[in-house]
A and B are shown apart, each in its own frame.
Chain A
Amino acid sequence: MFTATGRAARIALVTTTALAGLATAASAQELSGTITVWSWTAPARGVEAAIPGFVALHPGVTIKVEDVGNPAIWDKITTGMAAGGAGLADVLNIGIDYMGNYVETFPGGLANLSTMGADDLAAQFPSGMWASGSGPDGAVYGIPYEVNTSGFFYRKDLFEKAGIDINSIATWDDLIAAGPKLKEATGADLIAMDKAATVADSAGLWQLLTNLQGAFYFNAAGEITMNGPAGVRSLELIKKANDAGVVADIPGGWDNFMMQIKGQTNVAVIPAASWAAGVFESEAPDMAGKWGLRLPPSVEAGGLTAAISGGTYLSVAETSTNKQLAWEFVKYALGTLEGQQAVYEGGGMFPGFKPMLESDGFIKKSAYFDAEVNKFFIDELGQDTPIVNYTTDYARALKAYTDAQTQVLLSGADPKTVLDEAAALVAGQTERTIAK
């Protein structure tokens, strides 16, 4: 029966359906085509794991992940940026240490994600990590992917054999003092370092110790602080351990790191970042039960026992021809619980997305370490760690520091003297001043 109202209702219904159809068609049209992501090894596997879920929501799009390799990826991105963005992938996985430099040296190289709505995600990430992914103008250029805090991995069996209670070690001085006893009882060195630093930078321990004192190479104003009291104290601690004969000289690089975690090089403590927890389990399954995990000791009694030790971001290249798709993919992978879970499952990188950290099952007991691994790292994120200012000159400072450390470890140089020289060198190469 065709009544007037019935017909009107039907027309309205048809119109709505048609409009809805149009809307769907429009949004589907917006998200189409192909984008490429540049990353490396485990983080690349993480990004890859988010693709099926994203494609299910937006059929017809293609996401390609290229494992460019690290550190090759930095040369590749730098070259592309210097060429005005030519040849870059659409989505770039960028380390926190490179972020500020890319944003400042190549303005317009990375897409301003604030204009695409990235600011809505800010509250869901740790503020310090979020700030390092933003430019001086506050615009967002990268969404935090990995957020690393410092892990303190130690060989339970060796400490037990030497009769040292790990819980009695509160400071690094305590730890270094226990070194000779440990070595005598077990033959193991306390810690490994690449003394000549000919393979990698070998500054990880100093950065951790300095971070634990709330300092870094630069202060918040960008002045050089690497030769300040905290920096000198850190290098003095390293020298003390070296002079005590408990530092093994192991070249840097991944293979040598693997030998340490597999117990092939006899080292009792590995202060690696949180991402390493997953690596221990997957690469050295035979060592289950032998490695323990705790918060790092503080430098001064009662000081910080947490440090942010790096992290990475996903950014979109300004030259991407499909920025909308690139951004939507980044938003899905890092800004939704579903995406984050897939990424975490695939790559095991420690996330910074708060809903993920609070989600059910994220903190679970690891049989390998016999501890609730992720709880340590969440605790660290909760501590009042300072914002780490990498500035545009991090690479120079890192190199100058590494050379200073080599002089201390190989020829017993005085920490204060070499750090003063290193700071003067960085000041001479840049327009920065040394903090008073």
Chain B
Amino acid sequence: MTAPNTQPAVRRRWRGSAPRATPYLFLLPVIVLFLAFKVYPYVYAAWLSLTKIQKGKQVFVGLGNYGRLLTDPIFYKALSNTLLILVIQVPLMLGLALLLAVAFNSALLKWRAIWRTAYFVPIVMGLVAYGILFSTLLNNHYGVINFALESIGLPRVPWLGDPFWAKISIIIALTWHYTGNSAVIYLAQLQSVPGELYEAAEIDGASAFQRFWHITLPGLRPAITLTVVLSTIGTLQLFDEPYVLTNGGPNNATLTIGMYLYQNGFKYFDFGYASAIGYVLTGIIGILALIQFRLLREKRA
């Protein structure tokens, strides 16, 4: 290199570096917040899951907490409860949301804005209000639901006091809370299905069901994939409903993995074990989400 070449090179570098740094500067708040509130807790929880507190000191126990999980009957109970609720509640809710979305989209429906809002309102309802509402409705002695059942000659149902009915109550509350959310996603996707397809099918003599099956459903597939994955993740992390309605009871009938994690961390101060549960839950969610994406993508192809 010769001397005269140096100066332009420096100038060029100077000129070039300024626009390159600016985007990162704008990204900085996001990156800092992500590192502080996401990455750091993940890494710290991973470390915690390898330790336990013994006589006030944190000691490294390797995979001890994970080994303990494998032999913990309560963890298996929580896992099976969560999966049971998942298998029943998610298809039920998404089916309902699908029907609602089609109804909301129908030209036959009057006062559409009111209907849509009415079904979406539960989403924004606060946890506490929601808990009070449902425990009042489902109260064994004074609840309006049992009152209605009795007034038509049916027996009272111990909604929150019986292992079987408590699960049903959680499923009902969960469905009430989140159906509107999925319905809105479907409704949005429905706007992208071209109206000509329906017109052409109608001319060809396709029935309403055939139009739904061959046009609406395929058109909604991306939204269905999204809601199946999101609802699965949401249900696997289920915490709010058992926390406010049944406290995980009776006799652990509605104990979910999220509840068990909370109990270990905040009731038993066993943060290492709670972190291990969190990581196992993350693993389960990752695997299930992967399988779902694969399955639904293959169907589309």
Q: Which residues of A pack against B, CB within 8 Å?
A: 74-75, 78-79, 82, 101, 104-107, 195-199, 249, 251, 392-393, 395-396, 399, 402-403, 406-407, 410, 425, 428-429
Q: Report if B55 contacts A (CB, 8 A).
A: yes
Size of interface on B: residues with Cβ below 8 Å to A: 28
Assess whether B74 is in contact with A425, with CB atoms less than 8 Å apart: yes
Q: Closest Cβ of chain A: how far from B211's Cβ, in Å? A: 46
Could you tell me which B residues sit within 8 Å of A by CB distance?
A: 53, 55-56, 71-74, 139-140, 158, 160-163, 166, 245-247, 249-252, 263, 266-269, 271
> What is the CA–CA distance of A393 and B273 in the complex, to the nearest angstrom?
14
CB distance from B49 to the nearest CB of A (A): 15
Note all chain A residues with C-beta closer than 8 A to B252: 403
- Selected contact of A406 from candidates B71, B74, B251, CB within 8 Å: B251
Q: In the assembled complex, which residues on chain B have CB atoms less than 8 Å from the CB atom of A78?
A: 266, 269
CB distance from B171 to the nearest CB of A (A): 16
B269 adjacent to A105 (CB under 8 Å): yes
The distance from the CB of B248 to the nearest CB of chain A, in whole angstroms, is 8
Contact yes or no, B251 A403, CB < 8 A: yes
When the two chains form the complex, which single residue of B71, B140, B162, B266 contacts A410, counting CB atoms closer than 8 Å?
A: B162
Q: Which of A107, A196, A392, A396 has the most CB of B within 10 A?
A: A196
Point out the residues of chain A lying under 8 angstroms from B73, CB to CB: 425
**Which residue of B55, B246, B263 contacts A399 across the interface (Cβ within 8 Å)?**
B263
What is the minimal beta-carbon distance from B102 to any residue of chain A, in angstroms?
37
Q: Which residues of B contact A393 (CB under 8 A)?
A: 268
Given known contacts A406-B250, A410-B251, A428-B71, A198 and B269 CB-to-CB distance under 8 angstroms: no
* Nearest-neighbor residue (CB-CB) of B270 within chain A: A429
Beyond the given A198-B161, A251-B160, please list 17 additional residue pairs across the A-B interface where CB-CB is below 8 A. A79-B266, A82-B269, A105-B53, A196-B161, A197-B247, A197-B249, A198-B166, A198-B250, A251-B139, A251-B140, A251-B161, A392-B269, A395-B267, A399-B263, A406-B251, A428-B72, A429-B72
- Of chain A, the residue at the smallest CB distance from B262 is A75
Residues on the A chain within 8 Å of B160, using CB = 196, 198, 251
Residues of B with C-beta under 8 A to A406 = 249-251
- Main SS at interface, chain A: helix
A196-B250, A198-B249 are contacts. A249–B161 as well, Cβ < 8 Å? yes
- Chief secondary structure at chain B's binding surface: loop
Q: Which residue of A lies closest to B54 (CB)?
A: A431
Q: How far apart are B259's CB and chain A's nearest CB, in angstroms?
A: 11
Is B247 a contact of A101 with CB atoms below 8 Å?
no
Q: What A residues does B166 contact at CB under 8 A?
A: 196, 198
Q: Return A252 CB to nearest CB of chain B, in Å.
A: 9
User: Which 3 residue pairs of A and B lie closest in terms of their CB atoms, listed nearest first?
Assistant: A196-B250, A196-B161, A107-B56
Q: In whole angstroms, how far apart are the Cα atoms of A407 and B270 in the complex?
A: 26
Q: In chain A, what residue has the closest Cβ to B71?
A: A428
CA distance A197 to B161 in the complex (A): 8
Tell me the nearest residue of chain B to A402, going by C-beta.
Answer: B249
Within the complex, the shortest CB–CB distance from B114 to chain A, in Å, comes to 35
Q: Which residues of B contact A399 (CB under 8 A)?
A: 263, 267
A402 to B253, CA, bound (A): 13
**In the bound complex, do residue B268 and residue A196 qualify as a contact, i.e. CB atoms below 8 Å apart?**
no
Return B195 CB to nearest CB of chain A, in Å: 50
**Distance in Å from the Cβ of B173 to the closest Cβ of chain A?**
13
Q: Which residue of B lies closest to A431 (CB)?
A: B54
| CA gap between A378 and B55 in the complex, in Å | 36
CA distance A197 to B166 in the complex (A): 12
- Known contacts: A75-B266, A78-B269, A395-B267. The answer to whether A199 contacts B247 by CB under 8 A is yes
Selected A-B contacts with CB under 8 Å, 18 pairs = A78-B266, A78-B269, A101-B269, A104-B56, A105-B53, A196-B161, A198-B160, A198-B245, A198-B247, A199-B247, A249-B140, A249-B161, A251-B140, A396-B268, A399-B263, A406-B249, A407-B251, A410-B161
Instruction: From B53, B72, B161, B246, name the one whose CB has the most chain A CB atoms within 10 angstroms.
Output: B161
State the Cβ distance, A345 to closest chain B Cβ, in Å. 33
Minimum CB–CB distance from A408 to chain B (whole Å) comes to 10
Instruction: List, in ascending order, chain A residues with CB within 8 A of B56's CB.
Output: 104-107
Tell me the minimal C-beta distance from B35 to chain A in angstroms. Answer: 18
Bound-state CA distance A428–B166 (Å) is 27
Note all chain B residues with C-beta closer than 8 A to A396.
267-268
Q: Are A198 and B74 in contact (CB under 8 A)?
A: no
For residue A429, which residues in chain B have a CB less than 8 angstroms away from its CB? 72, 268
CB distance from B157 to the nearest CB of A (A): 13
| Alpha-carbon distance between A429 and B251 when the two chains are bound, in angstroms | 17
- Nearest CB of chain B from residue A80's CB, rounded to whole Å: 12
- Asked if A196 contacts B249 (CB within 8 A), the reply is yes
In whole angstroms, how far apart are the Cα atoms of A101 and B163 in the complex? Answer: 31
Within the complex, the shortest CB–CB distance from A149 to chain B, in Å, comes to 26
Q: Specify which chain A residues have a CB less than 8 angstroms from the CB of B249 in the assembled complex.
A: 196-198, 402-403, 406
Most A CB within 10 A of own CB, among B163, B245, B252, B267: B267
Query: In the assembled complex, which residues on chain A have CB atoms less than 8 Å from the CB atom of B247?
Result: 197-199
Docked complex Cα distance between A197 and B245 (Å): 11
Say how far B288's CB is from chain A's closest CB, in angstroms: 27
Nearest CB in chain A: distance from B2 CB, A: 61
Q: A residues within 8 A CB of B271?
A: 82
Rounded to whole angstroms, the CA-CA distance of A381 and B259 in the bound complex is 39
Contact B55 A104 (CB under 8 A): yes
Tell me if A395 and B72 are in contact (CB < 8 A).
no
**In whole angstroms, what is the CA distance A199 to B247 when docked?**
6
With the chains together, A74 CA to B245 CA distance in Å?
20
Contacting residues, chain A, for B246 (C-beta < 8 A): 198
